[in-house]
Amino acid sequence: MTIPEWTDVHYFLELARAGSLSAAARRLGVEHTTVSRRLHRLEEALGATLFDRRREGHVLTEVGRGLLVHAETMEASMLAAGDQLLGASAGQARGAVRLNAPEVLGSLVIAPRLSGLLAAHPDLRVDLVLLPRFADLAAREAELAIVIEPPTSGRYMTARLCDYRYYLYGAPSYLAAHPPIVRREQLGEHSFVDYVQDQLMSARLDFFKELGVSPRRRFCCTGMTAQVSAAIAGLGLVMAPPYAVPADHRLQRILPAEVFVQRSFWLVAPSDLFRLRRIRAVWDHLRALVEAEPHLFGV
């Protein structure tokens, strides 16, 4: 067996994460034939087959899964070396960080509060990835993520970011046109705006079972932004966190001491990336952000 080149190992890593030659080629900015050629050279050097070629894509063999662990360690060492050399002056974080966050949290809380971080690190870039699902960190769709359920397997650094609450809100126009709500039991008389139930990102977003309420859903949407807009338009009551609700009184909180559910946000990063200065800079900034403005989260 000959010692493989790092560039070939890098191509192997991208193929393992992407699952197909074409997807890996797009990530690497090369032709798919180049990925295939590099993989063949690496397999020849190691004297082993690293992928099963199937109709649905490239699937790691047992040998390939074993190599993946070492390849990620090699990658982490290369990244850390570059991070240390490039950021040696004044503790600067450099490069891009792909941060995945829930849409409303990312849009209304994180994006407007990045100026201090970017001013402190002029060569840092944040790529905020707002997906209709949580990013696949193993496939490097993101390098850092805010999730509502921490991973239970894999090599990740995980920390609780903050607790937050969903409260019940209604538009003044809706509340004026419907029976008053003074007890939780009366909620069955009302219309609700909610998530599309078979499209939930997590079972943790099914609030009403926990509240003991059987909602009459009149409008459902996969995104919180549209739910809040529908509630403002008077389509029904909505469960939402305080940061998602406009501060202009177009929605009023209902029975706040009685009707709420509490959840937690978690910060997650692959363990091999956590030691990088750019990852830690964003990680620390997010933790400072939520600590400075707890009112946004309603706890």
Pick the CATH number of 6-86 from 3.30.70.270, 1.10.1740.10, 1.10.10.10, 3.30.460.10: 1.10.10.10
For 235, phi and psi rounded to 5 degrees? Answer: -75, -15
Q: What is the mean pLDDT of residues 119-146?
A: 90
pLDDT score of 258: 93
Span 5-34, pLDDT tens digits? 888 888 888 888 888 899 888 888 889 899
Q: Are 155 and 125 in contact (CB under 8 A)?
A: no
- What average pLDDT does the segment 212-222 reach? 92
DSSP per-residue codes, 173-232: HHHHHS----SGGGGGGSEEEE--GGG-S-GGG-HHHHHT---EEEEE-SSHHHHHHHHH
Per-residue pLDDT, averaged over 219-239, amounts to 96
List pLDDT tens digits, range 58-89.
989 999 888 888 888 787 777 766 666 655 45
CATH class of 90-299: alpha beta
User: What are the residue ranges spanned by the domains of the chain?
Assistant: 6-86, 90-299
Predicted pLDDT at 122: 92
Cα–Cα dist 11/178, whole Å: 61
The average pLDDT across 102-118 equals 95
136-153 pLDDT per residue, tens: 888 888 999 999 998 888
Q: What is the pLDDT of residue 119?
A: 95
pLDDT (0 to 100) of residue 128: 96
pLDDT of residue 76: 75
Of 132 and 93, the structure prediction assigns the larger pLDDT to 93
pTM to 2 decimal places: 0.74
Average pLDDT score, the chain: 89
Asked if pLDDT for residue 293 goes beyond 80, the answer is yes
User: How far, in Å, CA of 210 to CA of 163, rounded?
Assistant: 17
Q: What is the pLDDT of residue 77?
A: 74
